[in-house]
Structure 1
Amino acid sequence: MQHALIQLSEQASNVPELTLLYPAIHKILEAYLPSSNFYVVLENQLTHTLELTYFSDEKDDKSVPLAEEHHFNKGLTGYVFKTGKTQLFTQADILSGHKQDKFKVLGTVCEHWLGVPIFQDKEIMGVMVSQSYHANALFNQSHVELFEVISLYLSTAIERVKKRELLELEVKYRTYALTQSNQALQNEIGQRKQALDRLQILFKISRLATKTEHLSDFYQQIHHILQSITYAENIYICLYDKEAKQLSFPYAVDERISTYRTRPYQKGFTEYVITQRCAQLIDNKRAEELIAQGDIVRTENHSTNSSETSWIGAPLISEGNVIGVIACQSYDHKHTYNSDDVELINFVSQQIANVLQKHLANQALKQSHEKLEKRVKDKTKALQQSNLHLQLQIEERKKIEQQLYHDAHHDALTGLANRSLFLMQLDKQLQQYIRHPQHGFAVLFIDLDNFKAINDNLGHQAGDEFLVEVAQSFSYCIREHDLLARLAGDEFVILLNHLHHPQEAIDVANRIIEIMRVPFCRDGFCIESGASVGITHSHNNYQHTDEIIRDADTAMYQAKKNGRGQCEFFHPLLRQLDMNSGTITQINDTLQPQDLHFNGKAIIAIHNGETQACLVERFWLHPNLGKIQFSQIEKYLSDTQQLIECELNLLTSILTQNNTLQPILLNCNINMLNIGHFTALKRTLMAHLGSSVLCLLFNEEAISRADNQQIQHLNQLQEMGIQIGLNDFAKYRCDLNIVTRCQFDYIVLSPIFSQRLLQQTSHQLQLQGLLAITNSCNSQVIAKGPAILNYQVLLEKHGIALFSSQQDFSASLPDMSESTQIASIR
């Protein structure tokens, strides 16, 4: 059965269309069923009738079930469809049911008939049938189970193939549309290029008119240029003397007429151009029309052998007067001129007229030169505008392509990146991190609280407006190079790049949570929302993006279980969450005192490197997850009493194994100061303290929320000779009011504040305020960071005297030898 399902899944993934899916399923079933007769009937959603989709039978051909009197609704297939249950009939059962009018026998009666309904989302969509005409080919229970399982997955396979068909059709349509668009663009580019080439040639003519000094050279070069862009084998330039009524030909090249002599003004093509004062295009038909109208008169010595079949001419106009004509002609239909040629020769005629005017008088030359420059500028401007128009069209098509890409990778409602783009960028960031681990990153998985209440009470339109506002608010909480995306519904994700410390991700999460505390109001009705944020960091050695999303999602659900409106950093312990109870399995039961260990980190004086104290770190060696910081498992201990016992056992072990007079700084849970636990803490300290100098460190967050009773207990510990310290200070913000709540002996800065201290002036100013308070209270400030000499030197310049290095402090804890670097509670 598993093998058959695997084959079905492969076929659903590979076949290109539905018509090939059913034969593939038939081929799979032939290997497992006693009969090869198989057909599938599906309901038409429009007519609500059963229609044959696939049919293969050894007795009946396809025309039998398709006959009008053999409609499936009346037969065995319709009976299975109506009952929605699997039916296995023998021949006797079929005949009996026919007599009882349960159904009709359609086609050849078989020996055994098996029909299974096909469901989609609990709605029946069709029937899958196999039948046997041989008495010895029986269907047993395993055959029925296989047939039922195949039918369960058939609807899914059909939907997958349908979606693939639709996707392929859409791809073909988009490809065709893009091909047509590109073809049209290529054609337009070709036309623009052709126009550009012609304009460049005309520009050469304009420059030639201003540079040549001799008219003969000018005429000859004009001829060469015209030959490069149109048919100009036969050309002549005529000058008109209005007073003498004569036409002269200073330049002429013709394949049939050897010389052009000066002649009187008559009624030829040239004279017609002069009379009309505009360019003319004349072929045989128009010549006959002009002759019939009397505008053209052929001379007696005109030869029909020399008659031109296509002729164009343009007047040479100077200062409003026609001074000549330029004309081109072809014989024997070698070339037929068109309107473009008319426009071209008209432009050339203007250049010739300008040159002629230049040679008439110096003043006329100057005016002609100015006109020429103006025309050149106009043509250049027109060319530039044409180029600009073409460039705008190209850019517009690029914008369309970019818009299509944007729409495919962004959420239509919020405009944020969608799942596809986010996973693509996350994969790039992951591959970069694998190559360059120094560039850390983090993923924040955000789920909005009470979003359903907004939709239910204010409507879905208000819900959409809320999502848009949330998306805009979230964008204010991140940097420009970070990526904010909407996965689906009220789920958002953020990719934070170039992180130096995981605390930066927590800072972003806290800003988001703070923003979401503001109620969402519409039409006088307000609903308080919120955000639960799950965070995972690149330090977890990820290899695939789905692992990152999974862990961030897991951390987000833990944040919801912890009370919503907060963030949770992912830890491998969360993978052991019991989804029913919401607690960590095996911790309360398997956590034993002998599994809790500790080691020391040296606190040195930066100016000479001498050890001044020891910062003790506590951790649990988990049998599967390895080393886990004790602070990470405190919040998962459901039994507070067990937490207190662990704290006291660790404290006893540290004090009994210490033999140095230098201070030991040890983290302590704030719950130890509660009534009922504080007595046990004092008893333990009095019994094991001895000559040791002990400083109990409490987290900044715990001190900020401590009540008056807990503060009094802190003062009592100091009266007993126990030093008090503030740990992880300025993790979120540098609140100097916390420092003044108690007389602290040590203040340990958070690593992220120590790092930003060297980068940001605002943090340097905050440190100066802290040092002013600690100096007056005789408190010592300790910074954390990597054991780099330059790093420590920079801290010292800002007033930091003590530094917590990464080297184990084996001197004060002699049991931490090189072979045994941790001490455990026995």
Structure 2
Amino acid sequence: MEDPSVLVRKLTRKNRRLESLLKKYKQNSHLQHALIQLSEQASTVAELTLLYPAIHSILEQYLPSKSFYVVLQNQFTQGLELSYFVDEKDGISVPLHEANHFSQGITGYVFKNRQTLYLNRQQMEHMSAQGLFKALGTQAEHWVGVPIFREKTIIGVMVSQNYAADEHYSEQQVELLEVMSLYLATAIERVKKRELLESEVKIRTRALMQSNEALNTEIEQRKRALERQQILFKIAELATQFSDIDDVYQQVHQIMRSITFADNLFIALHDKASNWLTFPYSVDEMTQYKPRPFANGYSELVITTERSQLIDTKRAQVLIDNEIVKRPDNYQLQNAATSWLGAPLKTAKGVIGLIACQAYNHEYEYNHEDVELISFVSNQIASVLQTHLANQALKASNLELEHRVAEKTKELRQTNLHLQMQIEERKKIEQQLYHDAHHDPLTTLPNRLLFLTQLEKTLQKYQRYPDNNFAVLFIDLDKFKDINDELGHQAGDQFLIWVSKAFSECIREHDLLARLAGDEFVILLDHLSDRQQAEDVAKRLIRVMQQPFCMKGVCMQSGASIGITYSNKDYKNTDEIIRDADAAMYYAKNAGRGRYEFYHPLLSAASTQSKQTEYHHLSALPVHFRSTEIVNMANHGQHIVMLEAFGEHPVLGSTSFDILKKFAAAKDEQLKIEMQLLGQALEQATNLGKAQTADVLFACSCAILESTTFGELKQLLSQRASNLCLLFDESEIRYASSMQLENLKELCSLGVAVGLNDFAKDRCDLALLSHIEFKYLLLSSTFSKRVLQQNSYDVQLQGILAVTALKSIQVIAKGPAILNFRSLLERHGLSLFFGKQQSLSGTSQSDPATAHESLPL
């Protein structure tokens, strides 16, 4: 077996050899890459000034060469000249321009010895002390110079240096510089040949351009001829296309702009009879031209000589010195034109004026070519102007005749205008009288007459189109007499004005607000889709009236009692509508004020004292129950039934006990009746459970949760069926007392199923669902309808479904004909809906022993 130490030595030698080979391979790769880049630059750069920076950029990739320069020998002077120089410290501060600068330094030393030289700072100082060369510029820490050869002749030196002691040059880096220098001469030759070739191309191109100049001159002449022809066409169009002389002047200006500088231009006409100059058209940045007598100006010079005149500052001075041109005493020299060009307007009858252009502040200098052009154009323009001026004179004579006719016509119009003004005045008086007759003088609101007229139209429209529902709100202000007594009648008037403005902001633009008399207001709401819209308006009115009215430092609280009547096919005239709305208002006022109530027939039925007593005894009314099946689109095995109690009223017929209790019964009797109805509902739930297992929902009021009846309620529920679910209105639960809420939670703990009825009618309060363990949640019909109409309600529904899913609460959509929309509501995540309503055979409340038949599901 071989000795391990020998084996280690062999492996060490092999590693060294591999490292040496790797270093050589890397060096060769760098050399190859650098040469490829040098070749690419030599093939692409257009001149030597671009080649040297490219070489410098290549070298910076492989060695520290921020300070780099190239020196080449001038073949004529034989001196060394700098071709490229970049230095970190010296820049161009070294006197490179001095004669024999490089020949005396270390660069000249390398050039003479024709060998690569690499020195550090100490070596350079030592050799400089020996007098081998002079130390010039800032001493570098490391300096390497490589001779540049063309074949065997040295032509220059390439130098790289740095000023950092730790950045020395390796043998491979020096070798790279030497290899680059070998190819540098070839690259320089290639670039010089390219420069020479480009120079020859430029010379030939220049010769071709000179030969083309003659051709361009001929083309320009033809082009100028065509332009003049186009100008003639435009001038010819002036005679036919433009009837207004002002339009002609503007078109002339446009033509002048197309041939020369004409930012400042005027046209002057000479009247020989009066010997005056007029200026019908002028555009000038300095001067405003006004009619003046014929004098000794530039314009007069053009007219008298009948020749075009080109006047610059020198000629202007000569004309003034010779008194050919005289300037007025108030002339401002700083406003004088530096170049002026004018041409006469000649016709068969002689010179009629001139056209002139001028430039200020040497912005443009007119020349003889401009004189030729304006002379050519002016001759053509003159005839056109003469024609238009003649037409203008003819029009003037026609205008004089028209003026006489107009004067006569004006007299007739004045007479007609006077009559028209009298008619308009009478119309205004009639309109004011109509307004005064149909509007309240204090609040400017429509009065009773106008309101009844509009209500009559609305009723007739409803009778033709029953879908156009409407509502009337009868409003009586609370404590108005107190405001009059405390603050005075003037304050009362101001209060009524304030109320009218506040109410106007609570309704739509097409709704009608009117003042009937005193503190009574009435509103007509048209184009309604449901009763909820009328409720929303009533709530806004009540909320507005909760704000105090302040005057003279005293604030008083008022309010509003509102009665609402909704459109009904039984209405035959407007008196019935006002009567019912008024009855509902009095009911709201008697029920506590600051509230609203819808009209119900019981309000009219209980108008007499004798009948009122009879209807208060609800216990005497026969009772029957109706059940509504809850359709389950997701699970056909689950059965849910909604149970409702109805009383056979002698006036109203079969009416829900919820309505009957509201209008007729006192509170203690309501509780008694409700407990009796609950007992009968438990019997109905038992019978329905025997026929087929089903959850039975029954609506109750929070009054049964009060301490006086809660014990009786628990005893009643413990003796009967457990499939009955008690429903409580969301609005009652929201305002329930703490005792009622505690009793409701106790029912849940005893295993009694409870539900939330009419949820999200006014608002969506999800907090209610987290406090009490509800089993069912019945959405209000208003909310179910709005889910299909507005995206915002769909977002609220998704929130409800998310919370109820966490609490295992079943959500039911209820409302009239809700099944017609079940496919749409299913897309929103609902699966339970009110179904068909059926009657259960009823019993008299006085005879509970009569059988209660169950409804087959």
**TM-score, with structure 1 as normaliser:** 0.51
**1:367 is aligned to 2:400:** no
Conserved 8 A contact 1:454-1:463: yes
Give the 3-state SS of the residue equivalent to 2:540 in structure 1. Answer: helix
Residue 783 of structure 1: CA displacement?
A: 1.8
User: What residue number does 1:585 align with?
Assistant: 613
User: What residue number does 1:520 align with?
Assistant: 549
User: What residue number does 2:604 align with?
Assistant: 575
Partner letter of residue 614 of structure 2? Q
Post-superposition CA distance 1:504-550 (Å, at most 9, x none)? 22221121111111111101101110011111122372112111111
TM alignment of 1:175-254, pairs within 5 A:
none
**1:800 is aligned to 2:830:** yes
Give the 3-state SS of the residue equivalent to 1:677 in structure 2. Answer: helix
Structure 2 counterpart of 1:550, from 579, 603, 624 = 579
User: What residue number does 1:668 align with?
Assistant: 700
User: What residue number does 1:429 align with?
Assistant: 458
Distance 1:540 1:652 in 2: 38
Distance 2:423 2:811 in 1: 63
User: What residue number does 1:337 align with?
Assistant: none
**1:451 is aligned to 2:480:** yes
Residue 744 of structure 1: CA displacement?
A: 1.9
User: What residue number does 2:669 align with?
Assistant: 642
User: What residue number does 1:703 align with?
Assistant: 733
Distance 1:393 1:476 in 2: 39
Conserved 8 A contact 1:746-1:782: yes
Conserved 8 A contact 1:576-1:585: no
Conserved 8 A contact 2:602-2:663: no
Structure 1: 5+ residue stretches without partners: 1-209, 211-241, 243-357, 817-822
Partner letter of residue 392 of structure 2? Q
Q: Which has the larger radius of gyration?
A: 2
Partner letter of residue 438 of structure 2? H
Structure 1 counterpart of 2:714, from 682, 702, 720 = 682
Structure 2: 5+ residue stretches without partners: 1-242, 244-272, 274-382, 844-849
Post-superposition CA distance 1:80-125 (Å, at most 9, x none)? xxxxxxxxxxxxxxxxxxxxxxxxxxxxxxxxxxxxxxxxxxxxxx
Residue 670 of structure 1: CA displacement?
A: 0.6
User: What residue number does 1:565 align with?
Assistant: 594
Partner letter of residue 745 of structure 1? K
Structure 1 counterpart of 2:802, from 752, 764, 772 = 772
**TM-score, with structure 2 as normaliser:** 0.49
User: What residue number does 2:648 align with?
Assistant: 621
Structure 1 counterpart of 2:632, from 597, 605, 608 = 605
User: What residue number does 1:755 align with?
Assistant: 785
> Kindly tell me: are residues 485 and 570 of structure 1, through their superposed partners in 2, closer, same or farther at Cα, counting changes over 3 Å?
same
Distance 1:377 1:618 in 2: 93
Taking only the aligned residue pairs, the percentage that are identical comes to 49
Conserved 8 A contact 2:626-2:644: yes
**1:481 is aligned to 2:510:** yes
Conserved 8 A contact 2:624-2:842: no
Distance 2:543 2:388 in 1: 82
Partner letter of residue 444 of structure 2? G
Partner letter of residue 732 of structure 1? D
Conserved 8 A contact 1:532-1:559: yes
> Kindly tell me: are residues 738 and 482 of structure 1, through their superposed partners in 2, closer, same or farther at Cα, counting changes over 3 Å?
farther
The alignment yields a C-alpha RMSD, in angstroms, of 3.8
TM alignment of 1:319-398, pairs within 5 A:
362=387, 364-368=389-393, 371=396, 398=427
Residue 493 of structure 1: CA displacement?
A: 0.8
Conserved 8 A contact 1:596-1:825: no
Distance 2:516 2:586 in 1: 16
Give the 3-state SS of the residue equivalent to 1:448 in structure 2. Answer: strand
User: What residue number does 1:131 align with?
Assistant: none
Distance 2:556 2:851 in 1: 52
Give the 3-state SS of the residue equivalent to 2:541 in structure 1. Answer: helix
Give the 3-state SS of the residue equivalent to 2:772 in structure 1. Answer: coil
Partner letter of residue 718 of structure 2? M
Partner letter of residue 616 of structure 2? N
Distance 2:810 2:419 in 1: 72
User: What residue number does 2:471 align with?
Assistant: 442
User: What residue number does 1:347 align with?
Assistant: none
Residue 575 of structure 1: CA displacement?
A: 1.9
Post-superposition CA distance 1:779-820 (Å, at most 9, x none)? 222222332655222222222222223x2256xx6879xxxx
Post-superposition CA distance 1:358-405 (Å, at most 9, x none)? 9x9735423226647988999999989989999888766655443332
User: What residue number does 1:784 align with?
Assistant: 814
Relative to structure 2, which stretch is displaced further, 365-374 or 777-786? 365-374
Post-superposition CA distance 1:701-755 (Å, at most 9, x none)? 2101112221121122222322211111222222333333422222212222222
Conserved 8 A contact 1:594-1:825: no
Conserved 8 A contact 1:606-1:793: no
Give the 3-state SS of the residue equivalent to 1:676 in structure 2. Answer: helix
Give the 3-state SS of the residue equivalent to 2:763 in structure 1. Answer: coil
Structure 2 counterpart of 1:651, from 678, 681, 688 = 678
Post-superposition CA distance 1:243-292 (Å, at most 9, x none)? xxxxxxxxxxxxxxxxxxxxxxxxxxxxxxxxxxxxxxxxxxxxxxxxxx
Relative to structure 2, which stretch is displaced further, 654-663 or 544-553? 654-663
Give the total of aligned pairs: 459
Residue 599 of structure 1: CA displacement?
A: 0.4
Give the 3-state SS of the residue equivalent to 1:644 in structure 2. Answer: helix
Distance 1:542 1:415 in 2: 30
Give the 3-state SS of the residue equivalent to 1:786 in structure 2. Answer: coil
> Kindly tell me: are residues 374 and 773 of structure 1, through their superposed partners in 2, closer, same or farther at Cα, counting changes over 3 Å?
farther
Distance 2:555 2:697 in 1: 49
Give the 3-state SS of the residue equivalent to 2:453 in structure 1. Answer: helix
Distance 1:377 1:615 in 2: 91
> Kindly tell me: are residues 684 and 363 of structure 1, through their superposed partners in 2, closer, same or farther at Cα, counting changes over 3 Å?
closer
Conserved 8 A contact 1:598-1:619: yes
Conserved 8 A contact 2:625-2:841: no
Post-superposition CA distance 1:11-63 (Å, at most 9, x none)? xxxxxxxxxxxxxxxxxxxxxxxxxxxxxxxxxxxxxxxxxxxxxxxxxxxxx
Residue 697 of structure 1: CA displacement?
A: 0.9
Residue 610 of structure 1: CA displacement?
A: 8.1
Residue 458 of structure 1: CA displacement?
A: 1.0
> Kindly tell me: are residues 507 and 738 of structure 1, through their superposed partners in 2, closer, same or farther at Cα, counting changes over 3 Å?
farther
Conserved 8 A contact 1:604-1:611: no
Partner letter of residue 698 of structure 1? F
User: What residue number does 1:267 align with?
Assistant: none
Conserved 8 A contact 1:578-1:585: no
> Kindly tell me: are residues 606 and 439 of structure 1, through their superposed partners in 2, closer, same or farther at Cα, counting changes over 3 Å?
farther
Distance 2:463 2:505 in 1: 29
Give the 3-state SS of the residue equivalent to 2:527 in structure 1. Answer: strand
Distance 1:480 1:525 in 2: 33
Distance 1:738 1:772 in 2: 14
Conserved 8 A contact 2:631-2:833: yes
Post-superposition CA distance 1:280-332 (Å, at most 9, x none)? xxxxxxxxxxxxxxxxxxxxxxxxxxxxxxxxxxxxxxxxxxxxxxxxxxxxx
Distance 1:399 1:763 in 2: 50
Post-superposition CA distance 1:201-227 (Å, at most 9, x none)? xxxxxxxxx9xxxxxxxxxxxxxxxxx
Distance 1:761 1:515 in 2: 28
Conserved 8 A contact 2:643-2:697: yes
